[in-house]
């Protein structure tokens, strides 16, 4: 009778038997620890997948009742941004820049150059396998928050508008610090630089890639805008 070569199913069965053998070789307390660990991981994975699904699902009884708890879990770490996908992919590069008005030690006033805060975040993310959430999303989300709560004349719309201004000021002052270019920061100004993405070489589409600026008014820096430990 001819011998048959072991197949993939046989190899899988052997590996499964080996794993089962190693598990049964453990002491009872060790087996209990492994079982509890597997159960906790399975429950955590189930909760995560269910919460992520409910976050993007149409409104239903669960989301209406527990929507706030679902959002608290999902945002900001597990947020999904759909702007890369059809039908309306993001076709602009938006950079947030800031400059400061400072008081020099001799009593004069000077204005710093524009600092590209988005470029700083991009440089920190580039070639970094584990960039921080702050570098990836803080400035971008803050600017979206501001734009969504202000009209074309930069007038805040309700309490969220005032809150978005304060949020932007705090982020800028966290990057600048109280002292800048040998002087004390008194006021800051923020602007966005929006540059359309050029079409690919094979496309016949014509787009003006000129950068358009949205310049906000000067904001006076207050103690509340300064990071903890730098207020004086």
Give this prediction's pTM: 0.65
Domain limits of the chain? 9-74, 92-200+209-225
Mean pLDDT across 80-97: 73
Does position 56 have pLDDT exceeding 90, yes or no? no
Tokens for 37, please give them. 């660990």
Chain segment 108-166, per-residue pLDDT in tens: 999 999 999 999 999 999 998 888 888 888 999 999 999 999 998 999 888 888 999 99
Q: What is the pLDDT of residue 95?
A: 95
Whether the link from the prior residue into 87 is cis, omega within 30° of 0, is yes
Kindly write down the DSSP assignment for every residue of 160-221, as one continuous string.
HHHHHHHHHHHHHHHHH-SEETTEEEEEEEEEEEEEEPPPPTT---------EEEEPPPEE-
> Residue 188: is it exposed, middle or buried by C-beta count within 10 angstroms (0-12/13-18/19+)?
buried
Which band of pLDDT confidence, cut at 50, 70 and 90, is reported for residue 192? Answer: very high
Name the phi and psi angles at 66, rounded to 5: -125, 25
Enumerate the β-bridge partners of residue 214.
192
Q: What is the pLDDT of residue 211?
A: 94
Q: How far is the C-alpha of 171 from the C-alpha of 52, rounded, in Å?
A: 29
Does position 62 have pLDDT exceeding 80, yes or no? yes
Q: What is the pLDDT of residue 145?
A: 92
Furthest-apart CA atoms within the chain: distance in Å: 103
Which band of pLDDT confidence, cut at 50, 70 and 90, is reported for residue 225? Answer: confident
Q: What is the average pLDDT value for the chain, to the nearest integer?
A: 84
Q: What is the pLDDT of residue 189?
A: 97
Q: How long is the chain? A: 232
Mean pLDDT across 4-27: 62
């Amino acid at each position: 009778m001819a011998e048959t070569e072991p197949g993939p199913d046989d190899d899988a069965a052997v590996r499964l038997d080996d794993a089962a053998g190693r598990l049964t070789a453990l002491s009872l307390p060790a087996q209990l620890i492994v079982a509890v660990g597997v159960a906790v991981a399975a429950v955590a994975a189930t909760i995560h997948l269910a919460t992520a699904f409910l976050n993007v699902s149409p409104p239903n009884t669960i989301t209406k009742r527990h929507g706030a708890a679902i959002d608290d879990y999902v945002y900001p770490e597990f947020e999904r941004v759909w702007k890369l996908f059809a039908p309306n992919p993001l076709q602009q590069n938006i950079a947030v820049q800031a400059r400061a008005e400072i008081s020099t030690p001799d009593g004069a006033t000077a204005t710093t150059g524009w600092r590209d805060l988005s470029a700083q975040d991009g440089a920190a993310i580039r070639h970094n396998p584990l960039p921080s959430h702050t570098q990836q999303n803080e400035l971008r989300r803050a600017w979206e928050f501001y734009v969504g709560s202000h009209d074309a004349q930069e007038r805040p719309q309700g309490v969220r508008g005032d809150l978005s201004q304060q949020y932007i000021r705090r982020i800028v002052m966290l990057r600048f610090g109280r002292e800048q270019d040998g002087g004390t920061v008194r006021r800051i100004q923020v602007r966005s630089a929006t540059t359309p993405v050029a079409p690919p070489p094979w496309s016949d589409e014509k787009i003006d890639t000129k950068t358009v600026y949205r310049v906000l008014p000067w904001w006076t820096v207050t103690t509340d805008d300064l990071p903890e430990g730098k207020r004086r």
